[in-house]
Chains A and B, each alone.
Chain A
Amino acid sequence: MLSNDPILALFADTEDENAWYRPLSTIPDIIRITAGRFLPVTLENMRGLGINPQLAVVSGALYPTVMPELIGMLKENFPGIEVLVLSSTFAPLPPIERLMADKVRHLVIEPVSPEGMRSPLLRAVNDLVHKRKWEIAKHVRKGTQIHIFQLASSADKEAVIGAVEGAVKGETAEHELLRQKGALLADEMLENAFYGAPRGADGGKIFRKGENRGLLPGEKIVFRFAFDGETLAMEMADSWGSLAPDMVMEYLARNQNSAGLPEEIGGRGLFIIWRFLDQLHVDITPGNRTVVGGHLHVSSPFPPEAPRGFHITITEKEKINGCTVTDHS
Chain B
Amino acid sequence: MDAPLQIIPKRFPQYDHFALNGNIDAQAETLLKELPARVRQPQVTIDFSSSGRINSMGIALLLRCFKAIREEKQADIELAGLTPMNTMLFKMTGIFLLATPAKG
Chain A residues within CB distance 8 Å of chain B: 158, 161-162, 173, 177, 180-181, 183-184, 187-188, 191, 209-210, 255, 258-261, 263-265, 268-269, 271-272, 275-276, 304-305
Out of B26, B60, B67, B84, which one reaches A268, CB within 8 Å?
B60
Report the contact-size class of chain B (Cβ under 8 Å from the partner). Answer: 20 to 34
Q: Whole-angstrom distance between the alpha carbons of A162 and B88 in the complex?
A: 22
**Secondary structure of the A contact surface, majority rule:** helix
Whole-angstrom distance between the alpha carbons of A181 and B53 in the complex? 9
Most buried by B among A181, A264, A265: A265
The smallest beta-carbon distance between A209 and chain B, in angstroms, is 4
Residue of A whose beta carbon sits closest to that of B67: A263
Chain B residues within an 8 Å CB radius of A188: 55-56
CB <8 Å contact, A272 and B85: no
17 A-B pairs with CB atoms under 8 Å apart are: A162-B2, A180-B83, A181-B85, A184-B55, A184-B89, A209-B57, A210-B25, A210-B26, A260-B59, A260-B97, A261-B63, A261-B94, A264-B60, A268-B60, A271-B56, A275-B92, A276-B88
Known: A187-B53, A191-B57, A271-B56. 17 other contacts (CB 8 A): A161-B2, A177-B84, A180-B85, A181-B85, A184-B55, A187-B25, A210-B26, A258-B94, A259-B94, A260-B94, A261-B94, A261-B97, A263-B64, A269-B55, A272-B55, A272-B92, A304-B88
Query: Chain B residues with Cβ under 8 A from A209's Cβ?
Result: 26, 57
B3 — nearest CB in chain A belongs to which residue?
Answer: A158
Interfacial chain B residues near A210, Cβ < 8 Å:
25-27, 29, 57
A224 CB to nearest B CB, Å: 20
Is B60 within 8 A of A263, CB to CB? Answer: yes
B95 with A260: CB separation less than 8 A: yes
A177-B84, A263-B63 known; A272 vs B93 contact (CB < 8 Å): yes
A258 CA to B59 CA, complexed, in Å: 14
Q: In this complex, what residue of B is CB-closest to A258?
A: B94
Question: Chain B 13-45 against A: per-residue CB contact (8 Å), 1 yes, 0 no?
Answer: 000000000000111010000000000000000
Q: How far is the CA of A269 from the CA of B55 in the complex (A)?
A: 8
B55 touches A158 (CB 8 A): no
Given contacts A210-B26, A259-B94, contact A268 B59 (CB under 8 A): yes
List 4 A-B pairs, minimum CB-CB distance, nearest first: A260-B94, A210-B26, A263-B63, A259-B94
